[in-house]
Amino acid sequence: MKLQQVYSLTRKAIDDYHMIQPGDHIAVGISGGKDSLTLLYALQGLRRFYPHPFTLCAVTIDLGFDNLNLDRIKTLCDSLEVPYHIVKTDIGKIIFEDRRESNPCSLCAKMRKGALNDAMKENGCNKVAYAHHKDDVVETMMMSLVYEGRFHTFRPVTYLDRTDLTVIRPLIYMKEADVIGFVNQYEVPVVKSPCPADGHTKREYIKNLLREINRETPGVKERMFTAIQNGNLEGWNL
């Protein structure tokens, strides 16, 4: 996928759900993976011509694993002229050594979000951009159906009243295949996750399940996404 197509899909999501207002200072949560780096490229490019002026910074929550090298991410942020902040934590040690969590992902996500929110406030940000794409939207809905018995997924825009921060998700119109195509075409410096639980989660199970369903019934994921938009879920109505 070409960069101009990434801009187009990202801008459509931002416009449809009114994600950016003039003067916003937006932090992009950078894991080092393909999704967050694609989002960084998209927002940095849009910043040059979007009608509402906004500023960007990038933030990585370092979980404390020894084998995480962020040098290429630093170089990328420098080339894009985006300030880059690395927040050192002991989250990995707490979860995998101290607590020995059997299902670590939920607690890890909460702790990472807390650390990210603190870093945002310190840097004067009022919004944080998460790199959830269209497949993430559908997978989260399926996880809610399978494991919780409810029709639910995250919103395109979420205001966190406790922290006075707003979460935006500008990649919700991009498929994961689009992200992979972009990353490969532009040789984006993806950093593999050092997390021991990477690839062994309930989300991975749902991802594989949806892949099989979509293979047998092509287009089902697109129809599921449309059902989410038309299903009267809070925050999804256009």
pLDDT score recorded for residue 151: 93
Give the β-pairing of 165-168 and 157-160.
Answer: antiparallel
pLDDT score recorded for residue 91: 85
User: Global pTM?
Assistant: 0.92
Mean pLDDT across the stretch 11-16?
97
**Tens digits of per-residue pLDDT, 80-138?**
999 999 998 888 888 887 777 777 777 888 888 888 888 888 889 999 999 999 999 99
Range 3-230: architecture per CATH = 3-Layer(aba) Sandwich (3.40)
Q: Within its chain, how far is the Cα of 140 from the centroid?
A: 13
**Tens digits of per-residue pLDDT, 165-222?**
999 999 999 999 999 999 999 999 998 877 776 655 788 899 999 999 999 999 999 9
Position 13 pLDDT exceeds 80: yes
